Every structure is written in C-alpha cells, then in structure tokens.
Structure 1
Amino acid sequence: MLDRHIRRLIDPTLDRAGRGLAAWGATADAVTLTGLGVGLVAAVLIVLGWPGWALLPLLLSRLFDGLDGAVARARGRTDFGGYLDIWCDFVFYGAIPFAFALADPANALPAAFLILSFYINGSSFLGLAVQAEKRGLSTEAQGRKSLYYSAGLLEGTETIAFFVVLCLLPAQFAPLAWAFGALCLLTAGARVAHARNLLA
C-alpha cells in the first residue's frame, strides 16, 4: 500500500547511488546476493537472542534490495536479475519469522501461520504476474519492475516496518504475527479478486 509513495521519495537517491555503484563495476546480481547475505545475518542474530542488534543488518539488507534495482537500471536489466531479486526477497521474508521460532519455541505456531500467510500471499502475487506476462499486460503503478507487480494492502514497506517492530518488541511476537498474518491473507484475497477481474 505504501510502496509507491515510498518509491517516489527514495528512488532519486537510490538511482544516484546505483549509478555510482555501476561505475565502480558492481553488478545488480552481486548487490542482490549481498542484501540476502546481510539479511540472513539479521536472522542469525535473532536466533541468538539479539533481535535489537538484528535491526542494523535487517535495514541494511533492504537498502541493498533497493540498490540492486538502481544498479540494474544503470547497467541494463536482465531476466535472471529480476528472478534472483524476487527469490532472495522470499528467502529473507521467510527467514525472519523462522528465526523467531528458533529463538523461542513458543513462537513456533504463530511463526508457522505467518510463513503460511506469506506463502499464500506470495503465490497470489506471482501467479498473477505469470498470467499477466502471458497476456502481455504491464503496469508501472509501483515503478518499473521486472514482472507484473500487483499492489496490495501489505507490500514490502509494511513488511519491513513489521519486522522492525518484531525486533523492537520480541516478547509480542505471537500477537503481532497472528495479526500481520491475517492481514496478509486479506491482501491475498484482494489479489485473487483482482486477478479474477483482470483475467476472467
């Protein structure tokens, strides 16, 4: 819901930084993988019981996630780069709740529900992207993307904000996970309805 507004604010700065990284020889794929690696460091810190310390690598990983697109725009986009970006995003999004489950077994059930909701929401997103590609549909409502990007109630910005709250309030993981997971399911339902209107 907030991604398009955030992108308008941060894209000019990211694009300047991306051009600089590209001039130094950085590739978008390398930036993507670096972002994933830093995000997994955040997950390890959560497992070790240091969620507050996980905030810095968590946010840094999302900075890399924004920079990879900027580098790609500067150097030229590739289909594999778009694929790698979305794959790394899903690995990261699953790793954080899984880390909270490992850190405290009491978090296992709400973490499982949260990951399930991510899976359902992600499939509603990617399934529509595949069908839209088959029909030659495109949209730049969320900026230029490597695939058809259907907006929703919860997107990347909301998910990162949620992860930050989890790191700040780890004792509240369970109620926060149940609530956010329910909103993910609502988002998925809205995307399925949108897909029916678009593709039927």
Structure 2
Amino acid sequence: MLDTHGRAAVQPIISKTAHYLLKIGLSANQVTYIAFFIGIIASILVYFGYPVIGVAVLWFSGFLDAVDGSMARKSKSSSWGTVLDVTFDRVVEAGILIALALRHPDPHVLMLFLLLAISIIFTMTIFLTVGALSEKESYKSFYYQPGLAERTEGFILFSLLVLFQSHLVFWTIIFIAVEITTGIQRLLEARRIFKS
C-alpha cells in the first residue's frame, strides 16, 4: 500500500542516489548484491542482540533495494536482475526470521514464525504468478500487484518484531493477519484480471 501510494514522495531521493551510483560506475546488479549482503548483516546484528542497529541496517538495505530498481530503469535492465532482486528480498526476510527464532526458541513462538513464513509464501506465490501471467504494465519489470502489505509494510512489521521482542507473539500474529489479508486481496484481483 505504501509502495503504491507513497513512492512518489521518496522517488526523488531514490533517483538521485541511483544517478550517483551509476555515475561512479556501479551497475544495478552490483547494488542488488550490496543490498543483499547488508540485509544479511542486519540479521546477524539482530541475532547478536543489536536490534536498533539491526533495524537501521535493514532499512538501509531496503533503500538500496529500491535504488537498484531505479538504476535498472535508467540503464539496461535485465531479467536476471529481477530474479536476483526478488530472491534476495526473500532471503533477507528469512534471515530476520531465523535470527529471531534462534533468540526465541520457545515452541509457541516458533510455530507462529512457521505460520508467518507460510503466509508470506502464500502471498508471494500469488504475487509472482500474477506478475508472470498478467499482461498489465507497471513501473517494474513485471506487473506489480498492490496490496495491504507491500515491501515497506513488510519492513515496518519486521522492524516491530525486532524492536519489540517482548511482544513478539502479538506482532507476529498481526504480521500473519496482514499477510493473509494481502494474499486474499491479490487472489481476488487475480480472479478479476484473468476473468476479464
């Protein structure tokens, strides 16, 4: 939702950063790799008990993740870059969940993390399938389905999990509910797209 409706507010900063990184000779794929490694560092920081720094690093990784897409659109984009981008996003998210699971090995928490992972898989499966099958155009390299939880909402919810670990169960349940709602939204939109 925030990505779809709020992108215009931050796009000038993203575009200027993309322009600068292209000017100094970096490619979009190189920035994708950098964003990925920074995202993994965020998970390591969370695991070792540095939640605030971990969240800050996670958001920096997310910013670079937005920048690499802008760089690709300003230069020569590639399907391989899209594959890397989407795959690395999921690995970074999994890293945060693994770090939290290792810090909170309570069976109830682990079960909720499993349900959260399943809800993310459910939502992303619909998102990627519709993107692959739809002929609609978007500013990305495939049709970007809007929904309640997009990348920014995911970062907000992961941040809440990390920063408020004493309320981990509550925030995980909220996250699961948001993901399932998003998946249902996207499923209903897919039904409209492919029936028309």
Q: Same fold (TM over 0.5)?
A: yes
Q: Structure 2 CA distance, aligned partners of 1:70 and 1:186?
A: 29
1:7-18 superposed matches below 5 A: 7-18=7-18
Match for 1:46: what amino acid? Answer: V
Match for 1:153: what amino acid? Answer: L
Q: Structure 2 CA distance, aligned partners of 1:79 and 1:128?
A: 16
The answer to whether the Cα contact below 8 Å between 1:102 and 1:108 also exists between their aligned partners in 2 is no
Q: Which residue of 2 aligns with 1:169?
A: 164
Q: Which residue of 1 aligns with 2:149?
A: 154
Q: Which residue of 1 aligns with 2:20?
A: 20
- Residues 50 and 121 (structure 1), Cα distance of their counterparts in 2 relative to 1, 3 Å cut: same
Q: Structure 1 CA distance, aligned partners of 2:28 and 2:37?
A: 14
* Long gaps (5+) in structure 2: none
Report the Cα offset of residue 155 of structure 1.
0.6
- Tell me which of 124, 140, 149 is aligned to 1:145: 140
Q: Which residue of 2 aligns with 1:95?
A: 95
Report the Cα offset of residue 82 of structure 1.
1.4
Q: Which residue of 2 aligns with 1:39?
A: 39
Deviations 1:114-173 (A, max 9, x none): 1111111100101111111xxxx1233xxx101111101111111111122222211111
Deviations 1:99-119 (A, max 9, x none): 111111023111111111111
- Tell me whether 1:187 sits opposite 2:182 in the alignment: yes
Deviations 1:14-58 (A, max 9, x none): 112111111111011111111111111111112222222212211
Q: Structure 1 CA distance, aligned partners of 2:92 and 2:140?
A: 19
- Tell me which of 98, 122, 131 is aligned to 1:129: 131
Match for 1:25: what amino acid? Answer: G
Q: Structure 2 CA distance, aligned partners of 1:186 and 1:165?
A: 19
Q: How many residues align?
A: 193
Q: Structure 2 CA distance, aligned partners of 1:156 and 1:85?
A: 12
TM-score by length of 2: 0.93
Q: Structure 1 CA distance, aligned partners of 2:68 and 2:187?
A: 29
Match for 2:92: what amino acid? Answer: F
Report the Cα offset of residue 5 of structure 1.
2.5
Q: Structure 2 CA distance, aligned partners of 1:55 and 1:153?
A: 21
CA RMSD of aligned residues (A): 1.3
Report the Cα offset of residue 74 of structure 1.
2.3
The answer to whether the Cα contact below 8 Å between 1:51 and 1:170 also exists between their aligned partners in 2 is no
- Between the aligned residues of both structures, percent identity stands at 28
* Long gaps (5+) in structure 1: none
Q: Secondary structure at the match of 1:105?
A: coil
Match for 1:12: what amino acid? Answer: P
Q: Structure 2 CA distance, aligned partners of 1:5 and 1:187?
A: 15
Q: Structure 2 CA distance, aligned partners of 1:48 and 1:109?
A: 22
Q: Secondary structure at the match of 2:123?
A: helix
1:63-78 superposed matches below 5 A: 63-78=63-78
Q: Structure 1 CA distance, aligned partners of 2:101 and 2:27?
A: 34
Q: Structure 1 CA distance, aligned partners of 2:132 and 2:190?
A: 11
The answer to whether the Cα contact below 8 Å between 2:15 and 2:70 also exists between their aligned partners in 1 is yes
